[in-house]
Structure 1
Amino acid sequence: MPAHSPSPSTAKPDHQTLEEAAEWFALLSDDQCSNGDRQAWQQWFDSSPQHRIAWQYVEQVSKRFHQVAEQTSSEESRRILGASRSKSSGRRRVLGSGLAVFGALLAWRYSPLSDYSERLYARINSDESTGVGEIRKLALTDGGTLWINTDSALKIDYQAEVRRIHLQRGELQVQTGYHDTLNRPFLITTEQGQLRALGTRFSVRRNEDETYVAVFEGAVEITTEQGERQRIDAGQQTRFSAQQIDPPKAANPAHRAWASGLILADNIPLSRLVAELRRYRHGHLGLDPAIADLRVVGSFPAENPDHALAMLADSLPLRINRHMSWWVTLEANTH
């Protein structure tokens, strides 16, 4: 069945419109904002449904970022968020009832808050989890090692007959242990199926309705929810849904490197690298379409994405535009 195209009134705003909304948000949050600025914003806001949707999106990013401050124990995060919070009091006076009604209709459409709720639910119902930007290494009781990537959650269920880890969200990497005296099978499960380790090191990532797997040592046997089965050997990767398994191809070293805290870029488009960096930082990270196809080569620190952005600005014709601490955009450097 063909997908339905979104109507012009509900389609996600383009890059330029989102940037305009962020600029207005920063201006209205400033203590020096004038009545003339507020009137100009109101004209911009009323002039297009896309402007209203973009404003709603910026509002939701702000709310999510402040919710993070309430959930985290990081003093550095609280310091950064406190600066954003101190600037936000003025904007509440300019919204009005029209935005309130419109916001109620769009609160969960194009909203990062729905993802925030899913993340919080997964962490509450997990045995192990990581926050955004966090990578953890765990020793398993059978002598194996487990790495948990950013924004992930999982359950560990070791029983007399089987060792099972259920990946609820995000990504993991595992080196299976060789000291299991009971010789129990080792399984990773997701909503799409299960992976049985055959003396191996491999990574597993959940992405909406698919699971990605890359094998670095040994082999893995995939069984989908619908019963399709396939063996993936060392040096191969694939993805699978509940119904089918894609043909394997050569494994990308980047799927292993994150466990060492690195994001690898081997002549990939900038858009792909930015998509990966978004996983490791809070807030909005935008990308000017004019530079999306720039090619990138190098290794970047996964746990310090802002330093990675600075590295890109030093090596590519782009600049970093920080409207607010939680709204950052990479733009073409026209100077």
Structure 2
Amino acid sequence: MSVAAERLPEAIVCAAIEWQMRLRDHAGGEVHEQLQEWLGRDARHRLAWQRLQQMGGLFQASQLPDAAYTIPLLRRAEADLGRRRTLKLLGFGLVAGGATLLVTQTSPTWRADFATATGERRRISLGAAAEVVLNTGSALDVEGQELILRAGEALVEGADWHARCRFATCQGRDASVLLRERDDYSEIRVQRGEVLVSTATGQLRLRVGDGVGVSAAGTTTLGQGSIDPFAWARGLLVVSDIRLADFLAEAGRYRKGWLGCDAAVADLHLSGVFRLDEPEVMLRNITHLLPVRIVERTRWWVRVMPVA
């Protein structure tokens, strides 16, 4: 894969966004020097910065639009190069001569029969056969007797149901299953009953506590992990001995904007039970559990830093 076509790690993309915001707030020579030093450390830093500036050009403005737009758009586009490809991914058009955005085509999430916004959870009753709980930023279609997860995460339960995700189909009777679309695979976990999973390479039967990741390359058994995969349906984020960076990545799904941490505290570990409907309280609680502080440059940009 060429450098130009490389898919960048989210941490690097978010760091580039952070530098853009620093330049907005402090345009002095010191910040420019620090930026140049960061760019010189890694070719991927330079690539992320280049792509971010090209995103700015898409809006025909001297700088990117408000962070409320910039961060989710860039993350959703996965920092891809190319005007047409980026616009197709984002589903947005431009207003000539300005940085205002307007919808010109409908995204898969908006076209879905059922969808949730960032931070929203929704319970959907589909009659006697099945009930679905959609997690934050998710989309679900119903085609006849089949449920199709288009994006995000869903908990499907009921007496008799069929569900499809990107890499597999599932069938359950008196069963409950979690489906989550990751970047490169579909995650399937059984909470109750027994589920028949069909993939491109065959079928497997999952029972309570089983979990698999299904991708184009095959099927992988998933361990329990540091996050309770079913707790979100109860409005909770339950973690056990999780890295702070991984905790923030999960918590960031439930709030708008960017949420990250300094590399100095990324590997700190924490455990606890947090309420998803109180994201600001969740962040404050971290400061009681770990030697960290919260830095908010805007309501859309939050970074966890070491205690000074």
41-50 or 313-322, which moves further after superposition? 41-50
Paired residues of 1:228 and 1:243 also in contact (CA < 8 A): no
Determine the C-alpha separation between the residues in 2 that align with 1:190 and 1:16.
32
Q: 1:191 maps to what in 2?
A: 166
**1:156–1:14 Cα change, 3 Å:** closer
The amino acid of 2:137's aligned partner reads D
Question: Could you say what secondary structure the match of 2:229 adopts?
Answer: helix
Alignment of 1:149-188 (within 5 A): 149-158=135-144, 163-177=145-159, 186-188=161-163
Determine the C-alpha separation between the residues in 1 that align with 2:139 and 2:229.
18
- Return the structure number with greater helix share: 1
The amino acid of 1:140's aligned partner reads L
Determine the C-alpha separation between the residues in 2 that align with 1:318 and 1:40.
25
Q: 2:298 maps to what in 1?
A: 324
5+ unaligned residues in a row in structure 1: which ranges?
29-36, 70-102, 178-184
Q: 1:300 maps to what in 2?
A: 274
Q: 1:235 maps to what in 2?
A: 209
Question: Could you say what secondary structure the match of 1:310 adopts?
Answer: helix
Q: 1:259 maps to what in 2?
A: 233
Q: Which structure exhibits the higher relative contact order, with contacts defined as CA atoms closer than 8 Å and separated by 6 or more residues? A: 1
Tell me the alpha carbon deviations over residues 138-170 of structure 1, each in whole angstroms, 9 at most, x when there is no partner: 222125321000000010123xxxx21000000
Determine the C-alpha separation between the residues in 2 that align with 1:308 and 1:320.
11
Question: Could you say what secondary structure the match of 2:218 adopts?
Answer: coil
Paired residues of 2:22 and 2:31 also in contact (CA < 8 A): no
**1:293–1:68 Cα change, 3 Å:** closer
The amino acid of 1:133's aligned partner reads G
**1:325–1:246 Cα change, 3 Å:** same
Paired residues of 2:109 and 2:151 also in contact (CA < 8 A): no
Given candidates 245, 248, 271, the residue that maps to 1:274 is 248
Determine the C-alpha separation between the residues in 2 that align with 1:259 and 1:62.
34
Question: Could you say what secondary structure the match of 2:112 adopts?
Answer: coil
Paired residues of 1:269 and 1:296 also in contact (CA < 8 A): yes
**1:228–1:293 Cα change, 3 Å:** same
5+ unaligned residues in a row in structure 2: which ranges?
57-63, 73-78, 93-104
User: Is 2:131 the counterpart of 1:145?
Assistant: yes
Seq. identity, %: 22
The amino acid of 2:68's aligned partner reads F
Determine the C-alpha separation between the residues in 2 that align with 1:256 and 1:57.
35
Paired residues of 1:204 and 1:212 also in contact (CA < 8 A): yes
**1:316–1:137 Cα change, 3 Å:** same
Over the aligned positions, Cα root-mean-square deviation in angstroms equals: 3.8
Paired residues of 2:292 and 2:307 also in contact (CA < 8 A): yes
Length-normalised TM-score, structure 2: 0.74
Q: 1:200 maps to what in 2?
A: 175
Alignment of 1:10-159 (within 5 A): 13=12, 19-27=18-26, 37=28, 50=45, 53-54=48-49, 57=52, 62-63=65-66, 65-66=68-69, 116-117=90-91, 121-142=107-128, 144-158=130-144
Paired residues of 2:155 and 2:178 also in contact (CA < 8 A): yes
Following superposition, the deviation at residue 26 of structure 1 comes to 2.6
Determine the C-alpha separation between the residues in 1 that align with 2:262 and 2:88.
25
Following superposition, the deviation at residue 55 of structure 1 comes to 8.2
Paired residues of 1:46 and 1:52 also in contact (CA < 8 A): no
The amino acid of 2:184's aligned partner reads D
Question: Could you say what secondary structure the match of 1:291 adopts?
Answer: coil
Question: Could you say what secondary structure the match of 2:108 adopts?
Answer: helix
Given candidates 266, 269, 284, the residue that maps to 2:258 is 284
Length-normalised TM-score, structure 1: 0.69
The amino acid of 2:114's aligned partner reads E
Following superposition, the deviation at residue 15 of structure 1 comes to 7.1
**1:54–1:325 Cα change, 3 Å:** farther
The amino acid of 1:287's aligned partner reads C
The amino acid of 1:141's aligned partner reads G
48-57 or 186-195, which moves further after superposition? 48-57
140-149 or 41-50, which moves further after superposition? 41-50
